[in-house]
Amino acid sequence: MSDKKIPTPDAAQEPRGVSRRTFLGTGAVTGAVLAGATALGAGTFTRESWAAAAKEAKSKIHVGPGELDEYYGFWSGGHQGEVRVLGVPSMRELMRIPVFNVDSATGWGLTNESKHILGDSAKYKNGDCHHPHISMTDGKYDGKYLFINDKANSRVARIRLDIMKCDKILTVPNVQAIHGLRLQKVPYTKYVFANAEFVIPHPNDGHTFDLQDKNSFTMFNAIDAEKMEMAFQVIVDGNLDNSDADYTGKYAASTCYNSEKAYDLGGMMRNERDWVVVFNIPRIEAAIKAGKFINLDGSKVPVVDGRKVDGKDSEFTRYIPVPKNPHGLNTSPDGKYFIANGKLSPTVSMIAIDRLDDLFNDRYKDPREVIVAEPELGLGPLHTTFDGRGNAYTTLFIDSQVVKWNMDEAIRAYKGEKVNYIKQKLDVQYQPGHNHASLTETSDADGKWLVVLCKFSKDRFLPTGPLHPENDQLIDISGDEMKLVHDGPAFAEPHDCILARRDQIKTQKIWNRNDPFFADTVARAKKDGINLETDNKVIRDGNKVRVYMTSMAPAYGLTEFTVKQGNEVTVTITNIDQIEDVSHGFVMTNHGASMEISPQQTSSITFMADKPGLHWYYCSWFCHALHMEMVGRMLVEKA
């Protein structure tokens, strides 16, 4: 614990003047970025102020036993690969949804149903998800789906929010590292926009390392949200980081930090300015409809070229220069601005969306004429979120703060008026990446809660060895002043989260027997002449053995079956319990087989019976007073 002199909480929360943080030169900012990770000693809260915050927390965020939270929060699990569901404001974890990982409790990555959804990518046992986003209709969450990217294996996954299970995964062709992901907001989420971050050669067949070649590029990707198939790809200059869409359905925008197409740190910081690239969706759609597209490297996906040729813009894109290496890109809930967060610059750039028509019609001499403000906020601005009352909240990674600022006042200041657009700077613990205010990505933004996802927790929790948890902090933003009310330790690495009102998410209590989630298994059973709800039978098909059984607390429909050594065994279980919450499991000991079977669900798992002998199977989800007795035996006869 640090015993150096610490400022009083009041001083710490006072808006700090930004005058001393004039635009720093590359060297200084870069130095600060690089030093940022180690300069964590600046804790400015005293033990007394923590106590005061805790007291405040009690009244504000206490959700009593048996009471329900006001918001659902969906958290990315980062390179752990899953999505986590939390209640807000209690920050209680409600559920985990495995997606790009393997999970033994539910059998995700092990069952036939999940492998079918994972498709070819089932070979990957890892993932790196960053950006969870809920589907929208007319700029409001419709509660149907949640989409999330996988940077590690260039995938996009969809989660059905009615059952809170992943139901589709798509590998984006001919790109590497899907990072920024956002959804079309208006008129509805027709497209999932997904940025591929890394520049690669095309074809990427091992012929070159060269990134400067004209055949080395990356692409902006649009996925049909309902079909979960590729809709189109757009070749861009530079690279792509984060993105967002507007409230007209016409434009999407992405930040680029590697306009240099460099391969190293120094190279990626060479240009004084990188850019925000804006995509004109109707123009892209029209070109594709007219057959004006190419196919790339053996894929059938329509591709259009959004690069400049001899300094001349394509019809599909416009590049707006912004200070070097921007990061987050956020649309304000009033639909007026795209905000690009400076990262290496202490500023954010506000792009007026209502000037984009003119930009695309070449009415401006300089594309920077669409920028209506570039407020200076502090060091390391990464992401911005909104309260729906005209204020924005930006994370300052290096300063370890969230800064609240007023958008209209920032615009007035940019015009030369003397106004202090900074409303408050709040210390957070420590080094925040994303932040997210309740309903902020929709026109419903309600300005109640702000979650700040801090990358470092340092001394905030009981020590856990060299690996520390992260710290997802909850801030009350309903009043004039931001108030920190909760520390939430989290395992690697919740990049981002999203909050929806609880009435916007409607879930099923038990499975529907006709659910497409296990439709393939139902079809296979039908071919085997099996009635899944009543039959307990073993089907022998050469070397393959298919075991069908029911489960009802506390017993399986089959308590023994016999197979031959070398058989490939598929166990299919239908949970005929109708009672909410009575989930069963199935584990075959010493066979790596484990799965969940919730009420009215059918699940199946396949394994090799390669060890002669008696093998117990048992129920792994506590379902009944006699749960321990819910068992059976498999006899494997010597071949």
Residue 434 annotated as lining a ligand binding site = yes
Q: Which alpha helices (H) appear in 62-132, and where do they start and end?
A: 112-118
Residue 621 annotated as lining a ligand binding site = yes
Contact in structure between 210 and 300 (CB atoms under 8 Å): no
Residue 615 annotated as lining a ligand binding site = no
Residue nearest ligand RUQ (C-beta atom): 433
Q: Which of ligand RUQ, Ca ion, ligand CUA, none has residue 274 at its interface (CB below 5 to 8 Å by kind)? A: Ca ion
Integer angstrom CA distances of residue 587 from 401, 571, 633: 47, 10, 11
Q: How far apart are CA 382 and CA 394, in angstroms?
A: 7
Close Cβ partners of 532 (under 8 Å, ≥ 6 residues apart): 522, 525, 548, 550, 572, 574, 602
H/E stretch holding 607 reads: strand 602-609
Letters for 598-627 (x = contact with ligand CUA by CB under 6 A, - = none) are ---------------------x-xxx---x
Residue in 220, 203, 343 with CA at minimum distance from that of residue 278: 220
Letters for 193-212 (x = contact with ligand RUQ by CB under 6 A, - = none) are --------------------
Q: Which of ligand CUA, ligand RUQ, Ca ion, none has residue 328 at its interface (CB below 5 to 8 Å by kind)? A: ligand RUQ
Letters for 216-255 (x = contact with ligand RUQ by CB under 6 A, - = none) are --------------------------x-------------
Close Cβ partners of 403 (under 8 Å, ≥ 6 residues apart): 377, 378, 381, 393, 394, 396, 422, 424, 425, 426
**Touching ligand RUQ, residues 307-346 (CB under 6 A):** 327-328
User: Shortest gap between Cβ of 350 and Ca ion (angstroms)?
Assistant: 20
Integer angstrom CA distances of residue 349 from 90, 317, 324: 34, 18, 11
Q: Which of Ca ion, ligand CUA, ligand RUQ, none has residue 623 at its interface (CB below 5 to 8 Å by kind)? A: ligand CUA
* Residue count (the chain): 639
Residue 79 annotated as lining a ligand binding site = no
User: Shortest gap between Cβ of 16 and ligand RUQ (angstroms)?
Assistant: 22
Residue 268 annotated as lining a ligand binding site = yes
Does 133 participate in binding ligand RUQ (rule CB under 6 A)?
Answer: no
Closer residue to ligand CUA, CB minimum distance, 340 or 553: 553
**Binding-site ranges for Ca ion (CB under 5 A):** 268, 274, 325
Angle, CA 442 vertex, CA 438 and CA 447 arms, to 5°: 35
Q: How far apart are CA 513 and CA 521, in angstroms?
A: 12
Residue 297 annotated as lining a ligand binding site = no
Q: Which of ligand CUA, ligand RUQ, Ca ion, none has residue 433 at its interface (CB below 5 to 8 Å by kind)? A: ligand RUQ
Q: Which of ligand CUA, ligand RUQ, Ca ion, none has residue 317 at its interface (CB below 5 to 8 Å by kind)? A: none
Residue 584 annotated as lining a ligand binding site = yes
Residue 482 annotated as lining a ligand binding site = no
Closer residue to Ca ion, CB minimum distance, 273 or 458: 273
Beta strands in 443-583 (DSSP E): 449-454, 470-476, 483-490, 497-501, 537-541, 544-552, 555-556, 560-564, 567-575
User: Shortest gap between Cβ of 328 and ligand RUQ (angstroms)?
Assistant: 6
Query: Which residues are 233's β-sheet partners?
Result: 221, 303
What type of residue is 561? F
Closer residue to ligand CUA, CB minimum distance, 385 or 600: 600
Q: Which of 43, 378, 433, 585 binds ligand RUQ (CB under 6 A)?
A: 433
Residue in 16, 127, 143 with CA at minimum distance from that of residue 72: 143
Integer angstrom CA distances of residue 517 from 327, 512, 513, 607: 37, 10, 10, 21
Does 630 participate in binding ligand CUA (rule CB under 6 A)?
Answer: yes
Residue in 188, 178, 186, 185 with CA at minimum distance from that of residue 157: 178
Contacts 24+ apart (CB under 8 A), 22-28: 22/376, 23/345, 23/346, 23/347, 23/376, 24/346, 26/269, 26/324, 26/344
**Touching ligand CUA, residues 535-564 (CB under 6 A):** 553-554
Phi, psi of 253 (to 5 degrees): -140, 150
User: Shortest gap between Cβ of 616 and ligand CUA (angstroms)?
Assistant: 14
Provide the phi-psi class of 183: left if phi over 0, else alpha when psi is between -120 and 50, else beta. Answer: beta
Closer residue to ligand RUQ, CB minimum distance, 260 or 496: 496
Closer residue to ligand RUQ, CB minimum distance, 384 or 570: 384
User: Shortest gap between Cβ of 517 and Ca ion (angstroms)?
Assistant: 44
Residue 630 annotated as lining a ligand binding site = yes
Sheet arrangement for strand 251-256 = 243-245, 251-256, 273-280, 317-323
Q: How far apart are CA 436 and CA 72, in angstroms?
A: 13
User: Shortest gap between Cβ of 13 and ligand RUQ (angstroms)?
Assistant: 23
Q: How far apart are CA 125 and CA 110, in angstroms?
A: 11
Q: How far apart are CA 361 and CA 176, in angstroms?
A: 32
Q: How far apart are CA 123 and CA 509, in angstroms?
A: 32
Closer residue to ligand RUQ, CB minimum distance, 175 or 545: 175
Q: Which alpha helices (H) appear in 189-329, and where do they start and end?
A: 265-268, 281-289
Does 461 participate in binding ligand CUA (rule CB under 6 A)?
Answer: no
Chain centroid offset of residue 21 CA = 32
Closer residue to Ca ion, CB minimum distance, 260 or 577: 260
Q: Which of 16, 84, 130, 483 binds ligand RUQ (CB under 6 A)?
A: 130
User: Shortest gap between Cβ of 581 and ligand CUA (angstroms)?
Assistant: 12
User: Shortest gap between Cβ of 36 and Ca ion (angstroms)?
Assistant: 18
Structure tokens belonging to residue 375: 């407020």
Closer residue to ligand CUA, CB minimum distance, 231 or 623: 623
Closer residue to ligand RUQ, CB minimum distance, 346 or 599: 346
Residue 455 annotated as lining a ligand binding site = yes
Q: Which of ligand CUA, ligand RUQ, Ca ion, none has residue 535 at its interface (CB below 5 to 8 Å by kind)? A: none
Residue 374 annotated as lining a ligand binding site = no
Q: How far apart are CA 526 and CA 574, in angstroms?
A: 13
**Touching ligand RUQ, residues 477-496 (CB under 6 A):** 495-496
Residue 129 annotated as lining a ligand binding site = no
Structure tokens belonging to residue 617: 């199977």
Q: Rule CB under 6 A: which residues touch ligand CUA?
A: 553-554, 584, 619, 621-623, 627, 630
- Indicate the annotated binding residues for Ca(2+): 257, 260, 268, 274, 325, 455, 470
Q: Rule CB under 6 A: which residues touch ligand RUQ?
A: 130-131, 179, 242, 327-328, 382-383, 433-434, 495-496
- Indicate the annotated binding residues: 130-131, 179, 257, 260, 268, 274, 325, 327, 383, 434, 455, 470, 495, 584, 619, 621, 623, 627, 630
- Indicate the annotated binding residues for Cu cation: 130-131, 179, 327, 383, 434, 495, 584, 619, 621, 623, 627, 630
